[in-house]
Amino acid sequence: MSKNNRTRTKEPIYLDNASSSPIDVNVINEMLPFLTSFYGNPSSLHGLGRKSTIAVSKARARISKLIGSKSNEIYFTSGGTESNNLALIGCARLIDNMKPTCKRILISKIEHDSIIETIKFIEKDMEFEIDYIPIKNDGLIDLDIFRKMVSPKTSLISVMLANNEIGIIQPIRSLVEIAKAKNNNTIFHSDAVQALGKIPINVNDLKIDMMTISSHKINGPKGIGALFIKQGIHIKPIIFGGGQEMNLRSGTENVSAIVGFGKACEIWKEKLESVQTKISGLQRYMIDRIINEIPGSALNGSRENRIPNNVNFSFSGINGENLLIKLDEYGIEASTGSACSSNKKQKASHVLKALGLTYDQVSGSIRFSIGYQNTLEELKIAVDTLKNLIIEFKKINGDGFP
Ligand SMILES: Cc1ncc(COP(=O)(O)O)c(C=O)c1O
């Protein structure tokens, strides 16, 4: 690459924090004793068992503080995917038992695969009717269209708080109010995996009934998450066994991971404001420079209603995957398409298609997601490298910069 001397260093510039984030050292320190000394099963009545029970309760309290819920409204799962499965299938099982005439579900067109694939299962195997809420080209749901789509027979709605690809924040409270005005018994679930730690969340202000969160997006360990379920809502389990998690999610608790998740939530609660200021400054820097310096670039989704760590651009005439591979060669790690539905062959993003983007724009897209460990210096290098690579790609294509 002509104008750029960066070669791959041992330490990559990691701009894929929405896929997964590095574990905070304080989280590791808090977890370690539960991997070495305090290995008791929380269901055991002896001292080590009680120590684990207390640690799990402490984590539940820390998590509930970050989202404004009660401790006993937090149910631990293996992550965001399982929480979404539990919320939707558990609720569909409840509806099937109680109100089989109201088997209508609404979800947005831009949900994560763990919602979309679960809904397909519910549609096919449990015979529910599903409607998909469209989005406008800024990434937001149109409230008037939503109002027309909700009916008194709608029993479950799931709309994510912030999208994993374009970071757009939906007006969840308004959506809940519209839905509940039509049917106060409609259960409203929101996937807040990407919003947690990025914007203040209070489940009571949002008026939601269930909410999904995951630890590894907020510098906690992987394989642990939770489902918030408002007191008074009684969905059915999808995993059966020893009756852990108040009979909703059987299986011995992953104590060290739960402890780590709790600590990560405590850290984010303490520094939410300062981190938000820092990462939104970095986001502003990156978006401004790309818009001003890279011709043919277009920011995907509204600039305003966006979580502060997301930067998603399409570059005309560029193949996003090829760009990603080149960036990786220079030690800059970003992503295309869905955040963490890998191993599958990359398919065209359903989120960008729902925005109304052309095939060229969808295949020319790339997402950078900023973490609190990133620095301005790193972003400078990332944008310089990106710019130079795009110049090279365009030269090869025969349509260089003016
Ligand atoms: C919006 C959203 N929901 C759910 C998930 C799945 O979470 P987990 O990786 O904890 O299963 C992800 C992962 O990227 C996500 O971005």
144 CA to middle of ligand 1, Å?
29
192 CA to middle of ligand 1, Å?
9
| SS3 category, 3 | coil
> 25-267: which CATH architecture?
3-Layer(aba) Sandwich (3.40)
> What's the confidence (pLDDT) of residue 1?
52
> What's the confidence (pLDDT) of residue 2?
45
Query: C-alpha distances in angstroms, 80 versus 160, 192, 243, 289?
Result: 12, 9, 21, 33
Of 91, 102, 265, 340, which is the active-site residue? 340
- Weakest-pLDDT range from 88-102, 167-181, 193-207, 352-366: 88-102
Is residue 344 over pLDDT 70?
Answer: no
Q: Where in the chain is the domain with CATH 3.40.640.10?
A: 25-267
Index of the ligand 1 atom closest to the CA of residue 164: 16
> What's the confidence (pLDDT) of residue 338?
47
Q: Which residue has the least CA distance to atom 9 on ligand 1?
A: 80
> What's the confidence (pLDDT) of residue 30?
98
> What's the confidence (pLDDT) of residue 394?
87
| SS3 category, 228 | strand
Closest CA to 390 of 338, 337, 322, 331: 322
Is residue 81 over pLDDT 50?
Answer: yes
286 CA to middle of ligand 1, Å?
24
352 CA to middle of ligand 1, Å?
18
Q: Which residue has the least CA distance to atom 7 on ligand 1?
A: 80
Answer whether 160's CB lies under 8 Å from 196's CB.
no
Q: What is the pTM of this model?
A: 0.95
Index of the ligand 1 atom closest to the CA of residue 215: 10
Q: Which residue has the least CA distance to atom 8 on ligand 1?
A: 80
Helices assigned H by DSSP within 24-75: 25-31, 33-36, 47-67
CA 373, 376, 381, 383 torsion: positive or negative?
positive
Cβ neighbour number for residue 120 with a 10 Å cutoff: 12
Answer whether 389's CB lies under 8 Å from 327's CB.
yes
> What's the confidence (pLDDT) of residue 6?
55
Write out pLDDT tens, residues 143-184: 999 999 999 999 999 999 999 999 999 999 999 999 999 999
- The question of whether 102 is a catalytic residue gets the answer no
Q: Which residue has the least CA distance to atom 13 on ligand 1?
A: 340
Q: Where in the chain is the domain with CATH 3.90.1150.10?
A: 13-23+271-397
Index of the ligand 1 atom closest to the CA of residue 222: 10
149 CA to middle of ligand 1, Å?
26
- What length is written for the chain? 402
Answer whether 173's CB lies under 8 Å from 207's CB.
yes
Is residue 382 over pLDDT 50?
Answer: yes
Index of the ligand 1 atom closest to the CA of residue 82: 11
Tell the CATH topology of 13-23+271-397: Aspartate Aminotransferase, domain 1 (3.90.1150)
Write out pLDDT tens, residues 200-241: 999 999 999 999 999 999 999 999 999 999 999 999 999 999
Answer whether 253's CB lies under 8 Å from 244's CB.
yes
225 CA to middle of ligand 1, Å?
9
User: 283-286, long-range: CB within 8 Å, 24+ apart, which pairs?
Assistant: 283/308, 283/309, 283/310, 283/311, 283/370, 285/376, 285/379, 286/311, 286/368, 286/370, 286/379, 286/382, 286/383
> What's the confidence (pLDDT) of residue 340?
46
Mutation pick for ligand 1 pocket among 110, 118, 193, 199 (CB with most ligand atoms within 8 Å): 193
Is residue 10 over pLDDT 70?
Answer: no
Cα–Cα distance between 76 and 214 in angstroms, integer? 10
Is residue 321 over pLDDT 50?
Answer: yes
Q: Which residue has the least CA distance to atom 4 on ligand 1?
A: 80
Ligand 1 neighbours by CB, cut-off 6 Å: 79-81, 84, 112, 114, 160, 164, 191, 193-194, 214, 225, 339-340
* Strand ranges inside 251-336, DSSP E: 297-299, 310-315, 332-333
The band of 3, judged by pLDDT with boundaries at 50, 70 and 90, is: very low
Index of the ligand 1 atom closest to the CA of residue 83: 11
For the chain, what percent of residues have pLDDT higher than 90? 90
**268 Cβ contact list (under 8 Å, min separation 6):** 66, 196, 197, 218, 219, 275
- DSSP string of 328-383? HHTTEE-B-SSSS-TTSPP---HHHHHTT--HHHHHTEEEEE--TT--HHHHHHHH
Cα–Cα distance between 191 and 384 in angstroms, integer? 34
> What's the confidence (pLDDT) of residue 345?
54
Burial of 30 (0-12, 13-18, 19+ CB in 10 A): buried
Q: Which residue has the least CA distance to atom 5 on ligand 1?
A: 80
